[in-house]
């Protein structure tokens, strides 16, 4: 793929060569980071939902709004607890993308 920078001399042309392995590796890392960032929040929400469901089954209270507030609180608590770690992970990934940008451009 060739990009024209507006100049017609050859030294201003940038040629980008990305191999299928490079793209596949980048997509794999992006999906892995996405799963890592979402997992703690989803697990906290899942555990809160399970506990509320058990509580509702034991007490026979079937209030629909009872399930939302504990799940929301669990998700907020998970975000507060894991936010520094999540920020470190996404910052490291972004820094690696920018540092390795020159290896993508030949």
pLDDT digits (tens, 9 = 90+) for 74-101: 999 999 999 999 999 999 999 998 888 8
Q: Residues with Cβ < 8 Å from 68, sequence gap 6 or more?
A: none
Residues 2/13, Cβ–Cβ less than 8 Å: yes
**Domain ranges within the chain, ordered by starting residue:** 19-104
**What gap in Å lies between CA 78 and CA 81, rounded to an integer?**
5
The tens digit of pLDDT for each residue in 9-48 reads 555 455 566 778 888 888 999 999 999 999 999 999 999 9
Confidence of residue 63 (pLDDT cuts 50, 70, 90): confident
Residues 77/95, Cβ–Cβ less than 8 Å: no
- Mean pLDDT, range 56-68, rounded to an integer: 85
Which tokens hold the place of 78?
């998970």
CA 68 from centroid of its chain's CA atoms: 24
**What gap in Å lies between CA 67 and CA 75, rounded to an integer?**
13
């Amino acid at each position: 793929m060739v990009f024209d920078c507006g100049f017609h001399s050859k030294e201003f042309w940038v040629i980008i060569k990305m191999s299928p392995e490079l793209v596949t590796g980048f997509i794999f890392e992006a999906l892995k980071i996405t799963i890592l960032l979402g997992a703690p929040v989803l697990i906290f929400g899942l555990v809160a939902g399970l506990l509320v469901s058990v509580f509702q089954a034991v007490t026979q209270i079937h209030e629909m709004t009872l399930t939302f507030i504990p799940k929301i609180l669990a998700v907020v608590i998970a975000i507060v607890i894991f936010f520094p770690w999540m920020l470190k992970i996404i910052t490291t990934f972004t820094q690696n993308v920018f540092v390795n940008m020159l290896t993508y451009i030949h």
